[in-house]
Structure 1
């Protein structure tokens, strides 16, 4: 994700890449262009956040990942915000709608830091992010009445390399009696409350509760993926569903289907693309829309989804820098239209 952001920033005449913070010792002191597999760009990676803060950037693109990403990221956000540096992040998906952030004490610390430094924080991505909320809200401008909004991601995530997230958090490559983080009571509802409550605020309704369910299916053969091997008989597909209840009915629904190979879980919704986002609005009129990223049949759609995730925050940088201080959601910004993308 970071390399996607670096590539986009360095090609834009309105943005200057002044520094990159890395955590692996072997990356420190290297040119970040070569770290990302390209030509040198004259920016050297640092392992010291004080070096980064000392550069006085207008904004930091935060793209770290890992099993404890928020626990590690929030202190970084606080330090950057207090230093007067705006932050756009793909790491903390719960912050796409700050009022619903699952850790009130962290939200309070972030809000205080933003006020102290007169800086802003904005989180986004593709799902959660554009595919889970803004696309549906855009389509809802066609609606006379709505009874239910359902947003769905169907993804082939064999390209995702972070093993701890895929195995311990989501349960891939584990037997079905393994208890992943996703199975923790209330976790799915918590993880997907942000897009549900963001849509509810935008549409002017109150969600009384969010209900979460988890389903998993096994692989019938060994599958080689970016984080290792998914052995036969272990989890090869995960399906989550979070439903926001409005006036006693499940009215705003977020579904997430992830596979390690296309033929796992053949009875679940599928797509010929590696990343497909669907919006279904029941009401007057009925609205059914799907969006795919990348080419069909495994020709880089996974990379396309990662690029789209990074661009949601990179393209937002000028708007976040110009925004009033605070914790922002997509409802606080205009359309974050890209600049300098043609050519």
Structure 2
């Protein structure tokens, strides 16, 4: 891997973008040269201050042409919106065609580019990468690590694998994006409301790429993706970050994407998401407010639980976030740490299996 410094632009200054800005500033092998913002109110403001830190002398801009004109080696893309893929794909194409590598946490289904749909968008991205001789890589903690990459690492210990079950079990009371929580997942809505995730094909569409990544790595083929969706209500009214959750409305969601191989349910990715710990007590429980678990049945049996936390949440780049703060840092670092490797990689759409371990550089220097 080259040892020179790489010029980086961060695209958006929300939670992930703010963490990325702070992390890049601590890296001698990365140089922050620009920051894109959506809001006109943020234009011209210091990126360090937007990232809840000290001024760093880099002004935020909403002029994409001027940022592309800086000729960065890579863009850390962290923009988020309900229509995130539809909004992000044209940005990726433009950046890749300009010869700029992209690492992103926004389009999570691109963690397995070969399975990304719609295929027309995948073809656009592949053509843009070829034209600009640049690469695109998507990652995060989930998707991107806990339910796909981590199981594969664990199975380097396996002789026989019968099944793989990966869980995310989390308390999401501090997640403030109302349209995702209420319209997307159905929290705070009565059970006769149909959230997006309950529409047939939505769960499979979101997680089938991970299922196929695991199966492909093991030399198997997913023949069918089955879906499971369930909800539980609360018997009391309480406030969370996105608003008030009334008694009788949804306060816990359970989702599964199930990969069928040779007629058997072999790979399961399950998310159990609550707004309070005491709701749906019969469902799987995790460690603390947010944890991940991988259970591999076979020879040998493997059971691994992962929790990522911040010892001092007050130092988080996401003020007010508790349970998810550690996971947000982990998500940002999955792509920030990958920047030098993506810059060095052959052009194209990359998965984690095509990169070496994306370890942090100078990790002890900032400890």
**Pairwise same-fold verdict (TM > 0.5):** yes
Asked whether the equivalents of residues 231 and 252 of structure 2 are also in contact (C-alpha less than 8 Å), the reply is yes
Shift of 1:163: 1.4
Partner of 2:185: 170
Asked whether the equivalents of residues 19 and 45 of structure 1 are also in contact (C-alpha less than 8 Å), the reply is yes
1:201 aligns with 2:216: yes
Asked whether the equivalents of residues 22 and 45 of structure 1 are also in contact (C-alpha less than 8 Å), the reply is yes
Secondary structure, in 3 states, of the residue corresponding to 1:39? coil
Structure 2 CA distance for aligned equivalents of residues 326 and 312 of structure 1: 19
Partner of 1:314: 336
1:234 aligns with 2:249: yes
Partner of 2:291: 276
Cα distance change of structure 1 residues 136 and 51 upon mapping to structure 2, 3 Å threshold: same
Q: 1:256 aligns with which of 262, 267, 271?
A: 271
Partner of 2:161: 146
Aligned length: 342
1:331 aligns with 2:343: no
1:83 aligns with 2:98: yes
Structure 2 CA distance for aligned equivalents of residues 54 and 231 of structure 1: 50
1:190-246 deviation digits (Å, cap 9, x = unpaired): 111111111111111111011111111112222322222222211111111011011
| Gapped regions of structure 1 (runs ≥ 5) | none
Asked whether the equivalents of residues 94 and 194 of structure 1 are also in contact (C-alpha less than 8 Å), the reply is yes
Asked whether the equivalents of residues 286 and 292 of structure 2 are also in contact (C-alpha less than 8 Å), the reply is no
Partner of 2:317: none
1:304-341 deviation digits (Å, cap 9, x = unpaired): 01111111000100100000000000111111111111
1:232-291 deviation digits (Å, cap 9, x = unpaired): 211111111011011100101100111111112111111241221101001111111101
Secondary structure, in 3 states, of the residue corresponding to 1:173? coil
Structure 2 CA distance for aligned equivalents of residues 65 and 152 of structure 1: 24
Asked whether the equivalents of residues 174 and 323 of structure 2 are also in contact (C-alpha less than 8 Å), the reply is no
Asked whether the equivalents of residues 216 and 235 of structure 1 are also in contact (C-alpha less than 8 Å), the reply is yes
Asked whether the equivalents of residues 150 and 254 of structure 1 are also in contact (C-alpha less than 8 Å), the reply is yes
Partner of 2:52: 37
Shift of 1:137: 0.4
Structure 2 CA distance for aligned equivalents of residues 134 and 274 of structure 1: 22
Secondary structure, in 3 states, of the residue corresponding to 1:130? coil
Partner of 1:340: 362
1:148-202 deviation digits (Å, cap 9, x = unpaired): 0111010111222221111111111111111111011111111111111111111
Asked whether the equivalents of residues 89 and 122 of structure 1 are also in contact (C-alpha less than 8 Å), the reply is yes
1:187 aligns with 2:202: yes
Structure 2 CA distance for aligned equivalents of residues 300 and 235 of structure 1: 21
| Gapped regions of structure 2 (runs ≥ 5) | 1-15, 314-320
| Structural RMSD (CA) | 1.4
Secondary structure, in 3 states, of the residue corresponding to 2:332? helix
Q: TM-score, normalised by structure 2?
A: 0.91
1:79-110 deviation digits (Å, cap 9, x = unpaired): 00001000000010110001111211100000
1:99 aligns with 2:114: yes
Cα distance change of structure 1 residues 140 and 272 upon mapping to structure 2, 3 Å threshold: closer
1:58-88 deviation digits (Å, cap 9, x = unpaired): 0001111121000000000000000100000
Partner of 2:8: none
Partner of 2:9: none
Structure 1 CA distance for aligned equivalents of residues 268 and 281 of structure 2: 22
Structure 2 CA distance for aligned equivalents of residues 221 and 24 of structure 1: 37
1:21 aligns with 2:42: no
Structure 2 CA distance for aligned equivalents of residues 55 and 274 of structure 1: 41
Structure 1 CA distance for aligned equivalents of residues 283 and 81 of structure 2: 28
Asked whether the equivalents of residues 277 and 292 of structure 1 are also in contact (C-alpha less than 8 Å), the reply is yes
Give runs of ≥4 in structure 1 deviating > 6 Å: none
Q: 2:324 aligns with which of 302, 326, 335?
A: 302
Shift of 1:56: 0.6
Asked whether the equivalents of residues 274 and 294 of structure 1 are also in contact (C-alpha less than 8 Å), the reply is no
